[in-house]
Structure 1
Amino acid sequence: MSEPRIFREEPVSFVRRSGRMSEAQERAFEELAPRYLLDVPRDLASTSVHPEARMDPRAEYGRDPHLIVEIGSGQGHAIISAATARPDDDFLAIEVFRAGLARTMLDADKGGVSNLRLIEANAPEVLSSYVPEGGVSEVWIFFPDPWHKSRHNKRRLIRKGFGDAAARALEDGGLLRLATDWKDYALQMRDVLDADPLFERAFEGDWAERFDGRVMTSFERKGIDKGRDIRDLVYRRKRRA
């Protein structure tokens, strides 16, 4: 008798929250999802990625430019701004909250953005198997859920083992960019990635300079208004042996 499959081996960095979407958001999924939202084969969970599923960037974007991945794109403000400013690059937004995905699709459509695709999935699974190995130029993680209560820290995205998934996806010399307004999470990020043999610092001093390609969002502004300092980090994927 075969052993039952494990639903997930690691805790995810989110709790799926369902809420009633507006008519416009429902319309986004009906009319815009075929253009923007990738149809990903699932494993056991609704946000999982089947381990044999693979993304074909040329089929999705119609070309082979640099691919930038943002994890936790929220309402899409940062990635839409970047995709608009950098039409020669392609962008992939990873998000699990459907209202945010809908808002991103609506704004992308309104702005005529064609170099953006979205995926509704658990980010580590996207990085560890779905995107092409070495096919991503940059991975962005801006203001991930800090899970600030100590008993919830195990849910944080950036923890021991995350570097393996990010390093698989990134090309040699590719960049992992991070930002948070929670000091203890920033310290954890730095400790984890400083100790990862697949990455090296791409900054000097204690923290990186603010990434000028990150538009100021209401989320970041809220942290500043509460008196929290924004800390950036950037790491380079070491060359494969």
Structure 2
Amino acid sequence: MTDQKEPQDHRDAKEESPVTTRRGVRSFVLRQGRMTEGQKKAFERSWPKYGLTREDGMIDPRQVFGRDAMLNLEIGFGMGKSLAEMAEAAPEQDFIGVEVHQPGVGALLKDIEDRGLENVRIYSIDANDVIDLCLPDACLDRVMVFFPDPWHKKRHHKRRLIQHEFVQRVRHKLRVGGILHLATDWENYAEHMMEIMGASEGFANMQESGGYSPRPDDRPVTKFEKRGENLGHGVWDLLFYRTN
């Protein structure tokens, strides 16, 4: 269910609802950053319609979107450009985005307004809380994690989002046959992801050779990704589907 409260300053919303309820190692650091005026105004106008909160509890996606459609979840959408592009290109599908950084939330809300999108909803809390507290089992057709923080220093690898325990919790939210799509431009993280996924119960690689997959046409190429490719950086996509 969408949040029906009156528009409020984003700082007040953040104070009322903590970013995460989980203790222990986090895969993200809350960067300090202020919304632009355009992002703040978009937040004030559109968060009550498109925002979802932990306090909404376990949602019924059919009630949230008003229909029964393919449901996608993107974890860590950054500034939201790719998510908006995917939603615009597939109006017959529904999309839920998760991002803890407020400027990114404001930017996506502005993009939603500019594109006239009705098939996107947003959480601005820890993805772990979304998975554990907000989404019913087997409700998702696809989960996307594109270019998560690589935590490239070895002593920080424990902070990487893609770990066995996280993947198994995601698995239960996917329907059987649903897809987990990961992408990174850090080769070491790609190897880590492949090791985790290859050993994860209930998943199988969509690539027959057991390796990385070509980038699907429906995953937009970001400016960051283009810049990296121009510098000779690689990009690795992993697509695995739930088997049971």
Q: Same fold (TM over 0.5)?
A: yes
Distance in 1 separating the partners of 2:27 and 2:224: 18
Deviations 1:103-143 (A, max 9, x none): 00001110001000111111122123311100000001111
Q: SS of the residue aligned with 1:161? A: helix
Contact 2:43 2:110 in 1 (8 A): no
Matches within 5 A, 1:72-111: 72-111=76-115
C-alpha RMSD over aligned residues: 1.4
Unaligned residue ranges in structure 2 (runs of 5+): 1-20
Matches within 5 A, 1:49-60: 53-60=57-64
Letter in 2 for 1:56: D
- How many residue pairs get aligned? The number is 223
Give unmatched runs, 5+ long, in structure 1.
1-6, 42-49
TM-score by length of 2: 0.87
Task: State which of 129, 133, 147 in structure 2 corresponds to 1:125.
Answer: 129
User: Who is 1:221 aligned against?
Assistant: 226
Residue pairs, 1:1-241, within 5 angstroms: 8-41=22-55, 53-205=57-209, 206-239=211-244
Q: Structure 2: how far apart are the matches of 1:183 and 1:197?
A: 23
The letter of the residue matching 2:67 is: R
- Aligned-partner SS, 1:83: helix
TM-score by length of 1: 0.88
CA offsets 1:162-207 (integer angstroms, 9 cap, x no match): 1111111100110000110000100000100110112111112321
Give the distance between the partners of 1:225 and 1:122, measured in 2 at CA: 33
* Contact 2:145 2:181 survives alignment (8 Å): yes
The residue identity in structure 2 corresponding to 1:127 is: I
Structure 1 counterpart SS, 2:181: strand
Amino acid of the structure 2 residue aligned with 1:209: P
Runs of 4+ more than 4 Å apart: none
Larger % of helix: which?
Answer: 2
Residue aligned with 1:185, SS = helix
For residues 110 and 178 of structure 2, the distance between their equivalents in structure 1, rounded to whole angstroms, comes to: 30
